[in-house]
Amino acid sequence: MAASYVRMCCGASRTFLCGIRYTGVTAGLCRTKISSTQLRLCPIRQYSSSQARYGLGQSVASGLKWANEKYKRFLQRRFPRFYVLYSTFIRGFRLLFEDALEVHRIRIRMIKNNIDPKKLPYREMEKLRQFHRDMIKAVPLVIISIPPFANYLVFVLMYLYPRQLLIRQFWTPQQLLEFQGVYHAQRAQHHLPLLSGLKTTASHITHEQLKSRLTELCRKVQSGAQPAVSDLHAVRALFSGPPLGIRRLSADQMRHLCPLLFLTPRLPAFWIGQRLNSHALELMHLDRAIINMGLHQLDDTELKEACYMRGLNVELLSPAQSRDWLSEWLQFSVHLKESETSLYLHGMMLLTMNYPQNPPRS
Which contiguous run of DSSP H or E holds residue 73? Answer: helix 49-78
pLDDT of residue 343: 97
For residue 341, is pLDDT > 60?
A: yes
For residue 212, is pLDDT > 90?
A: yes
CA distance 346 to 199: 13
For residue 180, is pLDDT > 90?
A: yes
For residues 167-172, give the mean pLDDT.
88
pLDDT of residue 49: 59
Instruction: Label residue 10 by pLDDT band (50, 70, 90).
Output: very low
For residues 319-334, give the mean pLDDT.
96
Is residue 334 within 8 A of residue 291, CB to CB? The reply is: yes
The residue with greater pLDDT, 314 or 84, is 314
pLDDT of residue 37: 42
For residue 233, is pLDDT > 60?
A: yes
Q: Which of 185, 210, 136 is nearest to 315 (CA)?
A: 185
Q: What percent of the chain has pLDDT over 90?
A: 60
Average pLDDT taken over every residue of the chain: 83
For residue 305, is pLDDT > 80?
A: yes
pLDDT of residue 73: 75
CA distance 324 to 296: 11
For residues 3-26, give the mean pLDDT.
40
pLDDT in tens, 71-101: 677 767 777 877 777 788 888 888 989 999 9
CA distance 115 to 109: 8
pLDDT of residue 91: 85
pLDDT of residue 362: 38
